[in-house]
């Protein structure tokens, strides 16, 4: 004797609600669709069908995993970003919708230039930023870097899945380290980065999905959350072509602090503030 989909999915939803998951209904559905390998229409078609006990049990085991705080994206192995599907895992930060503001702005800059642009994605993680730019801009050639070899592996996987091997290249190392000491220093038209910007003493207060399942390297921005901005702003000009642009994602309350760092370093003449959909400062464009 089995159980109907229309009964087991609400059962899963209720379990997730009891564990405090805000998107319990959506998570229950998406995990079911992943488990059964069906799209939204396929899910509706199965709604009135019966599952055998073993199949229902395996589905509920995945729900148990989600209930313990493992991110949905680590269960399904993917995350949608800029209309593209990226492979993700515990070695990389899960791409967020806020970062689409950064990518959209950079894409517009590239398209406005109407000529070939070289882009450096600094601290690429899954490659969501750099790979999206390469995929959506015909005139962009992108170099992606990260200190983590496992992150580089994930980014390479995503680039290959989208057929971008000829448009992207990869370097491993901390920030600009892969380009230091070269006889002919690499320079770029655009440098883009979403660096770690969470204050060290705040990390323990983050949701369990973040603090226990996403890489600390991609979160910890130091005591005041600004360590990486200082390093990037201090060195970026050396790696930018004439009329080059630096585009940075920031925490919602960091815009003035980061702009002040740039001002003190006398590195850039202009700083443009870009807001996210919630009306909060999310991106700074330096030129």
285 token code pair? 């464009």
pLDDT on residue 183: 54
What's domain 82-286's superfamily in CATH? Vaccinia Virus protein VP39 (3.40.50.150)
Instruction: State the CB neighbour count (10 A cutoff) for residue 254.
Output: 21
Average pLDDT over residues 79-95: 97
Q: Answer yes or no: is pLDDT of 184 > 80.
A: no
DSSP state of 178: G
Percent of the chain whose pLDDT exceeds 90: 86
Rounded mean pLDDT of the chain? 94
pLDDT on residue 182: 60
Largest CA distance in the chain: 73
pLDDT on residue 78: 97
- Predicted confidence band at 1 (pLDDT cuts at 50, 70, 90)? low
């Amino acid at each position: 004797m089995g159980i109907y989909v229309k009964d087991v999915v609400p059962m899963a939803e209720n379990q997730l609600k009891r564990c405090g998951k805000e998107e319990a209904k959506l998570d229950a559905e998406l995990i079911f669709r992943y488990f059964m390998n069906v799209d939204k229409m396929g899910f509706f078609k199965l709604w009135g069908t019966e599952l055998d006990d073993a199949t229902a049990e395996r589905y509920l085991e995945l729900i148990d995993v989600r209930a313990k705080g493992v991110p949905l994206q680590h269960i399904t192995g993917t995350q949608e970003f800029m209309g593209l599907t990226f492979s993700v895992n515990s070695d990389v930060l899960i791409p967020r919708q806020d970062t689409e503001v950064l990518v959209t702005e950079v894409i517009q800059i590239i398209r406005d230039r109407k000529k070939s642009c070289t882009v450096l994605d600094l601290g690429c993680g899954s490659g969501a930023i750099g790979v999206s730019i390469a995929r959506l801009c015909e005139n962009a050639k992108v170099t992606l870097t990260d200190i983590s070899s496992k992150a580089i592996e994930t980014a390479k996987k995503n680039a290959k899945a989208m057929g971008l091997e000829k448009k992207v290249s990869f370097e491993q190392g901390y920030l600009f380290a892969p380009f230091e000491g070269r006889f002919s220093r690499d320079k770029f038209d655009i440098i883009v980065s979403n660096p770690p910007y969470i204050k060290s003493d705040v990390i323990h207060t983050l949701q369990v999905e973040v603090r226990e399942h996403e890489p600390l390297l991609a979160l910890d921005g130091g005591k005041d959350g600004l360590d990486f901005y200082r390093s990037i702003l201090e060195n970026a000009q050396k790696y930018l072509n004439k009329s080059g642009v630096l585009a940075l994602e920031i925490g919602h309350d960091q815009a003035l602090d980061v702009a002040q760092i740039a001002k003190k370093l006398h590195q850039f003449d202009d700083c443009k503030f870009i807001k996210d959909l919630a009306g909060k400062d999310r991106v700074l464009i330096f030129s």
